[in-house]
């Protein structure tokens, strides 16, 4: 006897493992949909995955993201509303510039390119946000003057 089906009959193979796999996927999806429970400080995160190796680009990227948050271009953790803190943003730009100066001659060409790009983008964003705030302040002052003159 052979394992091949006879005539037009098809051989049906039942794989019991697929049921366990589907159930495991369903459980994983349920866990992903549930809001994350607050963790105590110092406890490892299962979902975070491995950390990147420490290097200049990772450090600069961290400062870059911090700058974007302080410019209000990214929301702060735990808040849906972005907050603008120009003084902190300026400090972050200054820190990245200091890092660039202190590592001069010790960076790879790729690190130099990334660091210069991050500094350029943060500086442009800083100027745009500052100008937008100044314009909003001017508008509010004009509206206040109009309201006072009408009273």
User: Which residues, including other chains, have CB under 8 Å from residue 68's CB and lie 6 or more apart?
Assistant: 74, 122, 125
Question: CA-CA distance, 139 to 151, in Å (whole number)?
Answer: 19
pLDDT at residue 140 in the model: 83
pLDDT in tens, 18-46: 666 667 777 777 666 555 555 555 555 55
Question: CA-CA distance, 88 to 97, in Å (whole number)?
Answer: 14
pLDDT in tens, 122-144: 999 999 999 999 998 888 888 87
Whether the per-residue pLDDT at 13 is higher than 80: the answer is: no
Q: Are 67 and 122 in contact (CB under 8 A)?
A: yes
Q: How many CB atoms lie within 10 A of CB 48?
A: 7
Whether the per-residue pLDDT at 111 is higher than 70: the answer is: yes
Q: What is the pTM of this model?
A: 0.62
Q: Are 96 and 64 in contact (CB under 8 A)?
A: yes
User: Which residues, including other chains, have CB under 8 Å from residue 65's CB and lie 6 or more apart?
Assistant: 74
What is the Cα 148 distance to its own chain's centre?
44
Lowest mean pLDDT among 27-31, 69-73, 83-87: 27-31
Whether the per-residue pLDDT at 16 is higher than 70: the answer is: no
User: Which residues, including other chains, have CB under 8 Å from residue 123's CB and lie 6 or more apart?
Assistant: 93
Whether the per-residue pLDDT at 145 is higher than 60: the answer is: yes
C-alpha dihedral (105, 115, 70, 38), degrees to nearest 10: -100
């Amino acid at each position: 006897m052979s394992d091949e089906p006879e005539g037009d009959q098809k051989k049906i193979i039942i794989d019991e493992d697929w049921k366990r796999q589907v159930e495991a996927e369903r459980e994983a999806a349920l866990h992903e949909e549930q809001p994350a429970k607050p963790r105590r400080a110092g406890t490892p995160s299962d979902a975070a995955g491995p950390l990147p190796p420490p290097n200049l680009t990772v450090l600069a990227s961290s400062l870059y993201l911090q700058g974007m948050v302080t410019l209000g271009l990214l929301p702060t953790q735990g808040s849906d509303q972005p907050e603008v803190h120009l003084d902190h943003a300026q400090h972050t730009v200054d820190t990245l510039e200091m890092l660039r100066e202190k590592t001069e001659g010790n960076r790879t060409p790729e690190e130099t390119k990334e660091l210069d790009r991050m500094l350029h983008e943060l500086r442009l964003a800083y100027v745009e946000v500052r100008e937008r705030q100044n314009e909003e302040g001017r508008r509010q002052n004009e509206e206040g003057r109009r309201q006072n003159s009408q009273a």
